[in-house]
Structure 1
Amino acid sequence: MFAKKTAPLIKRKKLIIGLALALTCSYVHASEYRIAAMADPQAFRTESGSVHNWDESRWERENKLTAESLRNANKQKTIKFGIINGDITEYGRTLSLDSFHKIYDLPFKTFTGLGNHDYANNVGECHKDICDIDMLTYMHKHIESKKNESNFSNNLTWHYQHGHIVTSYGSLAYSWDDGDIHYVQLQNHPSYDVYLNKHVHNTKFEYKKTSLMVWLADDLNKARKRGKQIILNMHNADQNFLKNTNETEKEFFKKIINENKVIVIYSDHYHGPWIINNKDWFGDAPVRVSDSLFHGDYYLVDIPKSGLSTVS
């Protein structure tokens, strides 16, 4: 059931028309709290679509307004945490990542994932793949910082040897519980695959992206046994995922979703709010695609005792 609702955002001169989605699930019994589902701050891409590779001033000026609207929303009703589903940066550059952290220093904790602009687009394009390696290192540190979350799990192995050799493998996926909900961050998309073997920063760095399907099936099964409902998060739930996933993996992914009764998937990549309802790809779970932070948009998601609702 859908209802239209207006929500003013500081960045806009007009009211933003959003979606209020009521999922009436008889098994919903979570304690009431609010989260922010976000994506694509994409430093340094601006609202006009322009990319200012080495000049953060315009992106920072526009995104300060978005960050301020999130702070105001938090004052009106406390946001327990935020989820940012990828494209933290436009090209994975450290300058952009630093600017993101400065502007989106929010009054609530955030759980981030990587998108195609953070690493997938940059393989072979950035000197010695340093952009990809820096973003992978950032995500490793981010995952490490979340290990005290309830029932935390992750699909990443990371080895340091003698301070100058890093060997890592896994999908970067991670998950945690909050109340009666189990959240999973799938990063770019479940089938993204890459191998990097470079010398950078006086360090030999080797990374092998491996499939997350077996880990995901086990993780969701354990969550259901704990009595949790499940929300998945990924960056691209459409084009890149479908092109890079064979039929066997698609069927297995759909089976995982249906068997574990995933209630919603939050995604982005397309810089505009829309809804994917495709049972061939995602089984019974609806996909809510949010607009971009660099456009000034995000979802506020209420998880009350009566059900899950999403407000732009």
Structure 2
Amino acid sequence: MFLDKRFKVIVCALLWVVTCSAYSAQDDYFPRYLIFTSDPQYPWTESSDHGWEESTSEKERRSQWLIETQYSDVANFRRNFSPVAAAIPVMINGDMTAFGHGHQRSTVKALLEKKLGEDYDYGLGNHDYENNVNDCQFPENNCAAGSILDLRERYWGKVSSFDLAAREEGGSKVFYGSLAYSRVVGDIHLTQLNNEPTYSVGFSSGFPLNRVRYEVTDALDWLERDLQRARSAGRIIILNMHKPDRWKGSDQQIARFKAMIERYKVTAVFAGHLHNDPGRYFGWNREDYFGDVPVFLSGGASNQTYLIVDVAPDRQSLKVHQVNGNNWPSRKEIAIIPVR
């Protein structure tokens, strides 16, 4: 009896190893499900969205609960539909924090890893770096710089392509690039554009003897090369960003982006930013930015919403479901879109 139990344990362990190995390489499987969330934005709550009064301690406690509840539901979906969490990609589309402070970044990182381990991807939003340039001291711009350095540590040299490089200039280090990256998961090409594809800014951070320059560029040149590779490989292309509108770039840059995603047949765009408007995005200027490519917003932790995508077995269409109240079993289908 003891030997029989030990044999079963060994068999289960071997099956676990084989299963994990099957998902260890990005091209080894075709994911059936994808999850898109956004705006954990610690510390931020529904009261923050509506401008209601709330103490700092209440806000922090409520925000932590909202994030834990949302990503517990995400983790529960994964457990129900896959033996390996990484087989269901999770993309978090920006605003990881409310202002990019170090304690905010470490708190949200701990909350996410508690529920998802290391098996998630993310991008930066306006609250992580755009809003706090020249508005975060000791040292200067440490909120934006810290958010960028966290992203660099997680992705530099670890994904298919990451638009960030470094050089020495006048005895100081300069990081430059759009921070965009892409990851290949089976037949799906996931591109993360962070805040928005035309965003650019330059700033310095650090104390006088150890200053670092950051030159954040628009992503358009990098994106064209990225989309060319994905289309040549015949993959399903999905773009991710934070802001679906009010971009910093010129009309010419926006027109170039729109032409690119049409030319290279992007299947869909997923974004965040608008916490209380989850689902299919029909903004008044959507066509000026995205043309005929469908756009979906995940809402945010404060609104307790996110999106689940079900890829058809024949890989010819995607079903997009909206989760309300952090309750995936009651998710509602909001769209079926063709793969392009």
In 1, Cα distance between equivalents of 2:306 and 2:208: 36
Instruction: Assess, with a 3 A threshold, how the Cα gap between structure 1 residues 100 and 255 changes in structure 2: closer, same or farther.
Output: same
2:281 to 269, 273, 276: 276
Q: Higher relative CO (CA 8 A, sep ≥ 6), structure 1 or 2?
A: 1
Q: Is the 8 A contact 2:195 2:243 kept in 1?
A: yes
Query: 1:48 aligns to what SS in structure 2?
Result: helix
Q: What is aligned with 1:137?
A: 149
1:177 pairs, out of 167, 176, 184, with: 184
1:227 match = 234
Aligned partners of 2:223 and 2:186: how far apart in 1?
20
| Of 250, 259, 270, the match for 1:246 | 250
Q: Structure 1 residues 200 and 112, CA, compared in 2 at 3 Å: closer, same or farther?
A: farther
- What is the one-letter code of the residue matched to 2:201? V
Distance 1:95 1:160, change over 3 A: farther
Q: Secondary structure at the match of 2:45?
A: coil
Q: Secondary structure at the match of 1:182?
A: strand
Is the 2:242–2:271 Cα contact (8 Å) retained in structure 1?
Answer: yes
TM-superposed CA distance for 1:52, in Å, is 6.2
Match for 1:120: what amino acid? E
Could you tell me which of 67, 70, 77 is aligned with 1:66? Answer: 70
Letter of the structure 2 residue corresponding to residue 274 of structure 1: G
Aligned 1:1-312 pairs, distance under 5 A: 31-49=30-48, 56-78=60-82, 80-105=88-113, 106-107=116-117, 109-127=119-137, 128-144=140-156, 147-149=157-159, 152-159=160-167, 165-200=172-207, 203-239=210-246, 241=247, 244-271=248-275, 272-277=277-282, 278-306=286-314, 307-312=317-322
Q: Which residue identity is paired with 1:34? A: Y
| Distance in 2, Cα, partners of 1:43 & 1:283 | 33
Shift of 1:234: 0.3
Moved over 3 A (4+): 50-56
Could you tell me which runs of 5 or more consecutive residues in structure 1 were left unpaired when the two chains were aligned: 1-29
Relative to its length, the structure with more helix (as a share) is: 2
Query: 1:160, CA displacement in angstroms?
Result: 7.3
Cα offset, 1:296, TM superposition: 2.1
Provide the TM-score with structure 1 as the length reference: 0.81
Shift of 1:166: 2.9
Greater fraction strand: 1
Contact 2:30/2:185, CA 8 A, preserved across alignment: no
What is the letter of the counterpart of residue 222 of structure 1? R
Give, as a single letter, the amino acid of the residue that structure 1 aligns with 2:38: A
- Secondary structure of the residue aligned to 1:308 is strand
Q: Secondary structure, in 3 states, of the residue corresponding to 2:231?
A: helix
